[in-house]
Amino acid sequence: MTRTACSSQPVSRRFFLKNSIAAAGIPVCLASADADITPDHVPRIDCHLHCFAGDQDDRFPYHPLSPYRPLETATPEHLLACMDGAEVAKAIVVHPEPYQDDHRYLEHCLRLGEDRLRGTALFFAGTPRVAERLTELASRVKLVAARIHAYAPERLPQFESMAMRELWRTASELGLAVQLHLEPRYAPRLEPLIREFHTTQVIIDHLGRPFQGTPEEHSRVIRWADLPNTWIKLSSIPEQAQYPHRDIRPVIGKLVQAFGAERMLYGGGFNHRTTATSYRAAFDRGASLLDGLSTSQQAMVLGGNADRLFFT
């Protein structure tokens, strides 16, 4: 089958070819080409982590509009050392909100990571030169997605605006996915864009934040599995010991049933306190939450899918 490629070059022919196949309703199974490969040969890939320079590095200051300002550093050097120790082959650095649309630290991380790291950008629809700036950034570093936030009422995007469509279209033309960080209540306002740009891959962060909405609201996110350009990410997995003290397993079970192992990604385990041991344990916990899948299918979720989608 045709595989997608993460690229810092404008427009990936393979990306659009695969998307066109999916949009036409032809089943796409990323694992089918390598079905005989054992899980031990499938790389583990962290599809969701943040890096921070901390509040003492004048080279990479936090943005004046930062909604939070981490004091601790979570550097790419620390990340790569933990990856080596935990046998995590590759990772996606998701540009965090404290830097807003200043991507200098993301560029620093990706340069240090070379071929092992890719990036997700954060731009805001309606800001000056957004399409031009995203295009310029994609020409300098290896991006896989443009992230859109829809969860804080005071910082919601203008869902129906031409600016939002321009941002989505630019990402699509660059061969990037759109990565959604949303509360489930905003799913109805994003769905028209997912349908309109049906050849653009859409990655849904953090299981679609099931505990930040009602089961009825989150069921809309689950039904997005009917749209063949959507992917669900097993990340920011809540612990039952934490509020709202609910078991995440039934939710994951519904998502596995809806999306299948072929359209699931894994991310998580890295922060300023991470060790190689804790990083490996995070992946092992992810696998334990997928106990309804075979070991080969678990390996797809924990890295095989991401390897084909972002690194091939």
Q: In sequence order, what are the residues at sequence separation of 6 or more whose Cβ sits closer than 8 angstroms to the Cβ of residue 284?
A: none
- SS3 per-residue string spanning 111-165: HHHHHHEEEEEECCCCCCCHHHHHHHHHHHCCEEEEEEEECCHHHCCCCCCHHHH
d(CA 294, CA 275): 28
**pTM of the predicted structure, to 2 decimals:** 0.89
Encode pLDDT of 274-305 as tens digits. 999 999 999 999 999 999 999 999 999 999 99
Look at phi and psi of residue 23 and say left if phi exceeds 0, alpha if psi is from -120 to 50, else beta.
Answer: alpha
Q: Which residues of the chain have pLDDT under 50?
A: 1-36
pLDDT at 24: 38
pLDDT at 80: 98
Query: What does DSSP say about strands 230-234 and 264-266: parallel, antiparallel, or unpaired?
Result: parallel
pLDDT at 27: 36
pLDDT at 38: 64
Torsion angles phi and psi, residue 37, rounded to 5: -80, 130
* Domains of the chain, start order: 39-311 (3.20.20.140)
pLDDT at 63: 97
